[in-house]
Amino acid sequence: MRGLGLWGRAVIVAAIFAGTAFAQVKHVAVVETEIDPTAKINKAEAMEITATIRREAINNLPRGKYNIMTTETIMAMGGAVLDKCGEENCVISLGETIGADYIVRGIVRKIGTKLSLTVEMHEIDRGMLIALSDPARAEKIEGLLDKAAAACADMYKKFLNESGAAQKTPTQQTTPTPAPPAVVVAQQPVYQAPAPTPTPTPTPTNQPTVVDGVGMLTDSRDGKKYKTVVIGGKRWMGENLNYQPQKGNSWCYDNNNSNCGKYGRLYDWNTAKTVCMTGWHLPSRQEWDNLVTAAGGKNAAGKKLKARSGWNKDGNGTDDFGFSALPGGRRYSSGDFSYAGYYGLWWTATELGSNYAYYRNMNDDLDNVYEDLNYKYYGYSVRCVADN
């Protein structure tokens, strides 16, 4: 800054500070509310719900730290993405396209006789759901709108509290002083007789017979056979589980037994936690992360993990690892089913609180694998992974 007066240097410093502050502003896009067909809500009512979610974002997210993007900006920059897809897999793609740090959207479904609204907040950089509102429920749209504002405000406040806690510097830990080394007194060797040659044990039940890396697993409970493959150092089932437990909740898609043969069964989360055979378990979020990383990362793994046939709209994969992911769809608590042929959704063993659990999602339109969160009573597919 040589040659500049005091005022000139002050202006430059202020400009640098302002640029730094601007760069720290997070952009939040509130997108169109997703309406399940069973809810029977018209376009104008859906727009009113979206407007409520946006208004609460403006009211609750601190100005100067969060910029709420306008509808016009979202449509101008991301209209092509919005036209192409209408489900959760497009949330991350839309955010990347329009330069948003967070995407917020509402989802309205019919549960029993009531309308139910939940609001989700996704972080684009990490490609994951980070906040979820408690459900707002009402018999009619007017009542739902009344409750929507409170549900949204509560979600935004939880997000701010959690993000603030995450930024706190952890307390420095004091490294303990190591104890002095113990004095070891040499012992005279003691003669031991050689151990007897062990008798070979048969292959344990529910362990696959492996040929060229591909295993064949027989479930001792019902005799069904499943292909298994090793990806990222872990042995996974190469097919969706199709075991009908004596306890818990599971279904064939559309209550049609032939779909169980094609896609495997759908399980609620509590049943999914217990349904894998002995020696196997429902994979955690971390185990799914490792699988996706080994298959090329979240933006490419879907293409490599999807089966070479069975997906609609030419959405088949290359099945590079033999995982053969199929689009088994899902079941709602109302008893309705949707998206077989279009979406594959698999539970993880990781829950969030008493009501929600994480799952992984692939669809016919994209090559990605996404993580999301939903109520435990939904019916999703299951892949088991070996304990060892």
Could you tell me the pLDDT band of residue 246, with boundaries at 50, 70 and 90? very high
Q: What is the pLDDT of the chain when averaged over all its residues?
A: 81
Q: How far apart are CA 310 and CA 297, in angstroms?
A: 23
More confident residue, 81 or 359: 359
pLDDT at 62 over 80: yes
What was the pLDDT predicted at 207? 64
Cβ atoms 359, 345 nearer than 8 A: yes
Q: How far apart are CA 315 and CA 302, in angstroms?
A: 10
Most confident of 100-104, 107-111, 152-156, 281-285: 281-285
**pLDDT (tens digit, 9 = 90+) per residue, 334-388?**
888 988 999 999 999 999 888 889 999 998 888 989 888 888 999 999 999 999 8
- In the chain, the domains with their CATH numbers are 22-162 (3.40.50.10070), 209-386 (no CATH)
What was the pLDDT predicted at 22? 40
C-alpha count within 13 angstroms, C-beta hemisphere, residue 359: 30
What was the pLDDT predicted at 166? 43
Q: Rg of the Cα trace of the chain?
A: 26
pLDDT at 196 over 90: no
- Of 333, 363, 357, nearest to 345 by C-alpha is 363
pLDDT at 151 over 60: yes
pLDDT at 209 over 70: no
Question: Which tokens belong to 331?
Answer: 């079941």
CA-CA-CA-CA torsion sign (144, 145, 146, 151) = positive
Residue 223 CB contacts under 8 Å (≥ 6 apart), including other chains: none
Could you tell me the pLDDT band of residue 236, with boundaries at 50, 70 and 90? very high
pLDDT at 170 over 50: no
pLDDT at 17 over 90: no
What was the pLDDT predicted at 172? 43
What was the pLDDT predicted at 18? 41
Specify the amino acid at residue 337: F
